[in-house]
Structure 1
Amino acid sequence: MIDTHAHLYDVHFQEDMPFHIKEIQEAGVTEVWLPNCDLESWTDLKKLSTAYPDFVHPMIGLHPTYVKENYLAELAALKSELEQTKVVAIGEIGLDYYWDTTFAAEQMDALQQQCHWALEKGLWVDIHCRKAYTDLIKTFKLPEFKELRGIIHCFSGDAREAKVLTDLGFLLGIGGVITYKNTTLFQDIKDIPLSHIVLETDAPYLSPVPFRGKPNSPKNIPLIAQKLADLFEIPLTELVQQTNQNANKLKATSGY
């Protein structure tokens, strides 16, 4: 199984990384893709991806909630790193209006700049979006982003937004939320072809049941996969084969 989105460089894992890597691999996880947050997190992310090059794959980008007054300087520094580092994607980038919209305009500028990086480099994008799907879709419908592809990480939109985004060529990242009792997530994605879905944990966040409230880990991907297989009423092996195929096909577009 492939975890397409996990912050494995987080402080929660750093004290005993070999132990965590062993646990994750023993759970049947073959790859973990690492989304970046800002210039500071990039240091730890790059170090981890260098130490385990066959197991963890780096992305680079400025997370929308880290877009502040100094965002242009952060972008310039990350762009410089991009020029000298091989990455699987640009991410995680996007829009987040959940807590604060003070820097909404700057978030949009950062998103569009980084989408252009992806197009220039032949990379896909890993998208973070909360309470901003209208603006995100409007942006991705612009002619300049017609060729853009990627993953909508931790998809939290409605059924219409799921269809629009997958029609535009994006995959939906599904994680621990699918196991929550009161979620409507499956109702919103049930008509989406399985060819547009990938697995993720967003570790150490959003742990699946029965570990909700505890730090998440890529080792929990089997719980998410099993829940999705049950909901789609298909064998687990079929679910894993298809989501792996989707992830590998996207990764190949980056030449990684």
Structure 2
Amino acid sequence: MKLVDSHAHIYSEEFKDDQPAAVAKAREAGVEKIYMPNIDHTSIDAMLETEAAFPGTCIPMMGLHPTYVKKDFERELYLVEEWLNKREFAAVGECGIDLYWDKTFLPQQQEALKVQLELAKKHKLPIVLHTRDSFDETYELVAAAQDGTLRGIFHCFSGTPEQAAKVKELNFLMGIGGVATFKNGGLDKVLPHVSLNDLVLETDCPYLAPVPHRGKRNEPAYIPLVLKRVAELMQKTEEEVAEITTINALNLFKL
């Protein structure tokens, strides 16, 4: 089975001691592409070094993560735009709104998301959205910017069936990861009612490792565990889930 990890911070510090082994393990598990979301200016070098080490496998995006939006966010966004003008990236991201840790910079997060939505349209790229405790706030801005050309992923989707329907209405995909395997993750109430055509698989490594690795470092090699749970909940074969979610990801991210 050919698999895609549509969201992985494989360049992060957590992989500094065994990154080549982690990528090799992912390939052995059938993961052929690993899409890497950017965080801010401090993560760019490590991300691009990872791309250079594993060309064609580890593929970068460019964006500003909402929890790194501070008073100097405009300077960060100038850098994002500079990079998007300079070379190809698979997507704009990871960006969005995060109200879990801190609501202090909500206005700045909203402004940063608006700017990145426009950059996605300008560069004809998909956008990868972070919506932790902020689905409604993020949805509102994306819906306002949707002119028929915007595509992307609501990454780490763990919302309600109603929210899933809203994502579909926007012509966006839902990124499904380790939360699908959690006992109280809530996706058991959503996945039986959505279409495979609306999903991509992800790890968000090193975070949110699926059961039975919950609480430990996540990695792209665990995508088959997410796949297995999605197949169970949707009453599909693992082969069907693999084929359709991989096609969805490759179609979205085509460079």
Normalised by the size of structure 1, how large is the TM-score?
Answer: 0.96
Give the structure 1 partner of residue 119 of structure 2: 117
Select which of 96, 100, 103 maps to 2:102.
100
Q: Deviations over 1:104-141 (max 9, x none)?
A: 00000000101111100010000000121112221122
Following TM superposition, by how much is the alpha carbon of 1:42 offset from its aligned partner in structure 2, in angstroms? 1.1
Select 1:61's aligned residue among 63, 71, 78. 63
Shift of 1:16: 2.5
1:201 and 1:144 map into 2 onto residues whose CA distance is 27
**1:44 paired residue number:** 46
Task: Give the number of aligned pairs.
Answer: 253
Equivalent-residue separation in structure 1 for 2:136 and 2:13 (angstroms): 34
Contact 1:5 1:32 in 2 (8 A): yes
C-alpha distance in 1 between matches for 2:203 and 2:183: 17
What is aligned with 2:14? 12
Residue 15 (structure 1) shift = 1.9
Q: Which one of 175, 178, 202 corresponds to residue 200 of structure 1?
A: 202
* Identical aligned residues as a percent: 39
1:79 maps to which residue? Answer: 81
Deviation, structure 1 residue 87: 0.3
2-structure distance, mates of 1:157, 1:232: 16
Q: Whole-Å Cα distance in 2 between the matches of residues 131 and 90 of structure 1?
A: 21
Describe the SS at the equivalent of 1:234: coil
Q: Conserved in 1, the CA contact under 8 Å of 2:158 and 2:179?
A: no
Shift of 1:190: 2.5
> Would you say the 8 A contact 1:130–1:156 is kept in 2?
no
C-alpha change, 1:32 and 1:85, in structure 2 (3 Å) is same
Alignment gaps of 5+ in structure 2: none
Query: Distance in 1 between the 2:109 and 2:118 partners?
Result: 14
Task: Return 5+ residue gaps in structure 1 as ranges.
Answer: none
Query: Structure 1 residues 28, 110: closer, same or farther in 2, change over 3 A?
Result: same
Q: Measure the CA separation in 2 of the matches of 1:18 and 1:189.
A: 33
Residue 144 of structure 1 deviates from its aligned partner by: 5.3
Residues 191, 234 of structure 2: 8 Å contact kept = no
Compute the displacement of 1:160 (Å): 0.8
Please give the per-residue CA displacement for 1:192-231, whole angstroms capped at 9, x wherever unaligned.
1110000000000000000001100000000100111111
| Conserved 8 A contact 1:3-1:201 | yes
Confirm whether residue 169 of structure 1 aligns to residue 159 of structure 2.
no
Give the residue type in structure 2 aligned to 1:15. D
Q: Secondary structure at the match of 2:9?
A: coil
Q: Distance in 2 between matches of 1:95 and 1:230?
A: 31
C-alpha distance after superposition, 1:11-64 (max 9, x if no partner): 111222221211111111111000011010111101111221210110010000
- The two structures have a TM-score, normalised by structure 2, of 0.96
Q: Secondary structure of 1:202's partner?
A: coil
* 1:207 counterpart SS class: coil
Structure 1 range deviating more: 210-219 or 17-26: 17-26
Distance (whole Å) between structure 2 residues aligned to residue 249 and residue 189 of structure 1? 21
For the 8 Å contact 1:36–1:59, the answer to whether it is kept is yes
Residue type at the aligned position of 1:119: K
Which segments of structure 1 move beyond 6 Å, counting only runs of 4 or more?
none
